[in-house]
Amino acid sequence: MPKVSIIIPVYNAEAFIDTAIQSLRVQTLEDCEFIFVNDGSKDNSSAIIERYTKVDDRIKLINQHNQGISIARNNGINIATGDYITFMDNDDYVKPDMYKTLYDAAKTLTLDIVVSKTLLGRDDKYILKEAVFPEGIIYDNSFIQDNIIPSLLKEEDMFAVWNKLYNRDFIERHFVRFPSNREIEEDSMFNFAAFNKAQRVQFIDYSGYYYRNVSVNESRKFIERDYFARAAERYQFDYKTFFDLPIASKEADRLKAIRFIHRVFYLIFSCALQKGTAANVRYAYIKNMMLSTNVQYVISHYSASELEVEGRFQKLVFGILRKKSGAGLSILVKAIQFFYSPKLSELLRKLNKTGTGGVVYHDA
């Protein structure tokens, strides 16, 4: 029986899958199984993985019709046999000691979930994403309900599943799975279910996962994929009732509003820069965001301080949204387009207090 099962959903990843597989094969924790779930790829992804199965019996391949990442991951969980499970995206890669480090921490301390730091690809470099909570402490369910669950409601820093290791017996006991009936927010829904039941969780001072920001990825098409509609759906979702969370309804609503309005700030900035889309289309999409019922409700029912609007850029956008200023929005969009550069992007993150404050790695 392997110690760790790594589940990798695959879709049209022939440009990256070799790197992912090679980083897995050299893991210092040899007792692993690598479960690749090919979700109806139309390229050579399946053939590439198939070749590796002939030289490494730890590699398993499942081929399925295109059903989405949630079902692919769930099918991987269903056949996993490791003591612990984790996930990897098909265009990412890991350090050789990634899974040994997480496994040793989880096994030694009998943890339900162990959380590591992440190296995020951005502007041709990797930036260390610091832990959300202090490291080296075992958090019980009381702390989780008072702190980690609110964090999941308020921000997206805890959403990822690929920097976490989950006890498989714990996952099976509580039947934690990805939602098969939702096309968005699969990771956070899985983590809500897992953390809500967890009794022993620890964040560790380690980073071994390289998350690539692939510019050609479909996820960069904010307008075509209507990311604002997805953000609005998340805002309207009743997490408290669905997961039976003990948090007060009023506070849950406020935390969701914080996440929603900060997502709107991000989308305004990103949509203004989206390439391959006409300027008038981008502006119309951003203006529709500003005038939407959800945005105007949040802006009118909460103050800037209640929504934790702190950075200068955020305060500027907040004012424009509150005034419904089409002229102000037009000037803002044009200014973003004209002045943007990676250095300016980093400056805005610092002004908005969203920089990681961590180490920058130039080996992207």
> pLDDT in tens for each of the 364 residues of the chain?
899 999 999 999 999 999 999 999 999 999 999 999 999 999 999 999 999 999 999 999 999 999 999 999 999 999 999 999 999 999 999 999 999 999 999 999 999 999 999 988 866 678 888 899 999 999 999 999 999 999 999 998 888 999 999 999 999 999 999 998 776 789 999 999 999 999 999 999 999 999 987 644 444 567 877 889 989 999 999 999 999 999 999 999 999 999 999 999 999 988 888 877 888 898 999 999 999 999 999 999 999 999 999 888 899 999 999 999 999 999 998 888 887 666 666 656 655 554 444 443 333 3
pLDDT of residue 193: 97
CA distances to 17, 102, 265, 329 from 97, rounded to whole Å, are 19, 9, 37, 48
Residue that has been written with the tokens 């380690």 in this structure: 206
pLDDT of residue 364: 30
Domain ranges for the chain: 4-211, 221-361
pTM of this structure: 0.88
Q: In 10 A of CB 218, how many CB atoms?
A: 10
pLDDT of residue 273: 84
pLDDT of residue 356: 40
CA atoms of 364 and 354, how far apart (whole Å) = 21
pLDDT of residue 342: 62
Q: In 10 A of CB 103, how many CB atoms?
A: 22
CA atoms of 284 and 311, how far apart (whole Å) = 25
Domain range 4-211, its CATH number among 3.40.190.10, 3.40.50.300, 3.90.550.10, 3.40.50.620: 3.90.550.10
- Residue 238 tokens read as 């009743």
Q: How far is CA 225 from the centre of its chain?
A: 17
Q: Please provide residue 120's backbone torsions phi and psi, each rounded to the nearest 5 degrees.
A: -95, 125
For residue 164, give the nearest of 74, 85, 96 by alpha carbon. 85
Q: Please provide residue 317's backbone torsions phi and psi, each rounded to the nearest 5 degrees.
A: -65, -40
The angle that helices 312-323 and 249-273 make with each other, rounded to 10 degrees, is 100
Q: Please provide residue 296's backbone torsions phi and psi, each rounded to the nearest 5 degrees.
A: -65, -30
SS (H, E, C) the chain: CCCEEEEEEECCCCCCHHHHHHHHHCCCCCCEEEEEEEECCCCCHHHHHHHHHCCCCCEEEEEECCCCHHHHHHHHHHHCCCCEEEECCCCCEECCCHHHHHHHHHHHCCCCEEEEEEEEEECCEEEEECCCCCCCCCECHHHHHHHHHHHHHHCCCCCCCCCEEEEHHHHHHCCCCCCCCCCCCHHHHHHHHHHHHCCCEEEEEEEEEEECCCCCCHHHCCCCCCHHHHHHHHHHCCHHHHCCCCCCHHHHHHHHHHHHHHHHHHHHHHHHHCCCCCHHHHHHHHHHHHHCHHHHHHHHHCCCCCCCCCCHHHHHHHHHHHHCCHHHHHHHHHHHHHHCCHHHHHHHHHHCCCCCCCCEECCC
CA atoms of 267 and 260, how far apart (whole Å) = 10
For residue 35, give the nearest of 61, 57, 55 by alpha carbon. 61
pLDDT of residue 180: 86
